Amino acid sequence: MEQGSQLEIKMKENLEMSPWGEKKLVFGEGAAAPLLMMVGEAPGGDEEKQGKPFVGKAGKNLSAFLDVIGLKREEIYISNVVKLRPTKRSPKTGKAVNRPPSKEEIQFFLPYLAEEIMLISPKIIVTLGNVPLKAVTGDKKSNIGDAHGRPVPLGEDRALFPLYHPAAIIYNRSLSQVYQEDLLKLKAFLTSFS
């Protein structure tokens, strides 16, 4: 995908001039013309090390998620709003730990996400959590707790399907049932596009 490579080069060049110039970028990956594109918040430590989105603990949940909806990782495209790992220093260990992306980080990467979506041209965008939901809709008041599991039209030939982030069930086991129900709704919704 030539245009995707150009986008990556442009992003790298602009990142070098930003406050995050020393950070490692984690680009989206997957099928060139997928039915479904998943958008997460930002890479974590495992993703930063491997240079791929959704390969850590959340990646394991993503694999189970894909089994439920009947798709393989190579059939979809996976990316994040923020393409670098947002970190802070742990007061206990002094090591870098994950933190939510800042408004500045989100704003820096939003144009790249919009261009990435345009290049990939998926029919369905599945947002995983609040940050991608707000980024894709442009609605700062959107809330995953209210929006999850319900498709929303994005123009004539594209739809948004908001879901909780796969990591949410790691930290809040009570969401497991809701998450499974939402996946079944997504699976049924996918058949209407096939």
Convert the pLDDT of each residue in 145-187 to its tens digit. Answer: 999 999 999 988 899 999 998 778 778 889 989 999 999 999 9
Confidence of residue 100 (pLDDT cuts 50, 70, 90): very high
- Give CA–CA dist 34/77, Å, rounded: 6
Q: Which residue, among 15, 150, 126, has the nearest Cα to 78 in the 3D structure? A: 126
CATH number at residue 113: 3.40.470.10
- Counting the structural domains of the chain, the total is 1
At 193 the pLDDT is: 74
pLDDT at residue 3, rounded to an integer: 56
Residue 45 tokens read as 């430590």
The 10s digit of each residue's pLDDT in 35-91 is 999 999 999 999 999 999 988 776 777 888 899 999 999 999 999 999 999 999 999
